[in-house]
Amino acid sequence: MSDAPMSETPIREALAPEYTAGQRPITPLQLRDLSGKSNAPAFVRVLLQYLLIAVTGAAIWQVKTQVGGLWALPLVVLQGFLVSFQFMLVHETAHRTAFRSRWPNLLFGHISGAAIILPYEYYTQFHWDHHRYTQDTAQDPELVFRDPPRSLPMLIFAFSGITQVFKRLALILRHAITGRVTVPWVPEAKHRQIVAEARLYILAYLALAAVSVVLHSTLLLWVWIGPILVGQLMLRPYLLSEHTGCGHTRSAFENTRTTYTNALMRWFTWNMPYHAEHHAYPSVPFHALPALNRLVDDRIQHKGDGYRKVVRGVWAFMRDRMAATT
């Protein structure tokens, strides 16, 4: 990938038909203004979120050691949300739109990517193809391996996202051990970089494990590993809500859902509930998505009123799809 924002190619090639037909929902001048990048909003958000993770982790350990592990479980759930939703920072930095400067995108992308066991450079390539081929059943990497569950237990298992962390770890190990990258969304020119990244991540994880063994400490299990697994129960339904049940067309206003939710949720998710807007104009930074929404809201076909309602709808869609295939 070049130093240019990842989003430039999807804007030209893989967005709404209205864009390629010359009938833009917003003017070029509006798009230019909305696409202006800034370091300040992202620095404030990322540092506050990292601080919350550190404070919650310290509270977990304090309660666990002084009162007992059972009393720490509510904090583990909170930490699960805080850690797993670092996915949103990885996503925004993969677009190179979180920060105006290049280095913070790379630095914080790798820090949060390592924290959620998701290699940053690999995810950037994966996500590039997701934008280019959104909802294309043959080429969208988010859909290629998503076969309909064939039983209720399988549906629950898939909906929970419980295997996601293990799949990510297996992917890193495969790249690190074999030195090969076989997925179609990573160009050959990037293979060495992806392998080197995987090996660095594995070395970091082994170093943390070694320190834990030497110190006879379960700290990382309580403040990191356990919360990551618990957090998938919240992250996976959220991610499924972005496209599940939407159209399989080229238009971002038809193949992606925007969910209207509270300000706190939008803050933790880097405004990604405005997801149709993000897919239509991926060069627009997270902090400008609310303004973009006011301009294009009437063109969005799939809108959700809060995540409780949307997730229930996604569950019903997946359940009906399962019934149709059995």
Tens-digit pLDDT profile for residues 167-220: 999 999 999 999 999 999 999 999 999 999 999 999 999 999 999 999 999 999
Query: What is the CB-side half-sphere exposure of residue 315 using CA atoms within 13 A?
Result: 15
> What is the distance between the alpha carbons of residues 44 and 4, in angstroms, rounded to a whole number?
24
Percent of the chain topping pLDDT 70: 91
DSSP string, 15-44: S-HHHHTT--SS-HHHHHHHT---SHHHHH
- 118-166 confidence digits (pLDDT tens): 999 999 999 999 999 999 988 999 986 567 778 888 889 888 998 899 9
> What is the distance between the alpha carbons of residues 25 and 292, in angstroms, rounded to a whole number?
10
| Token pair for 93 | 């930095």
Q: What is the pTM of this model?
A: 0.90
- 14-41 confidence digits (pLDDT tens): 333 333 333 456 899 999 999 999 999 9
Nearest to 276, CA basis, from 245, 315, 305, 243: 243
Average pLDDT for the chain = 91
pLDDT confidence bin for 60, thresholds 50/70/90: very high
Q: How many CB atoms lie within 10 A of CB 20?
A: 13
| Token pair for 232 | 């998938």
> What is the distance between the alpha carbons of residues 170 and 178, in angstroms, rounded to a whole number?
12
- 249-286 confidence digits (pLDDT tens): 999 999 999 999 999 999 999 999 999 999 999 999 99
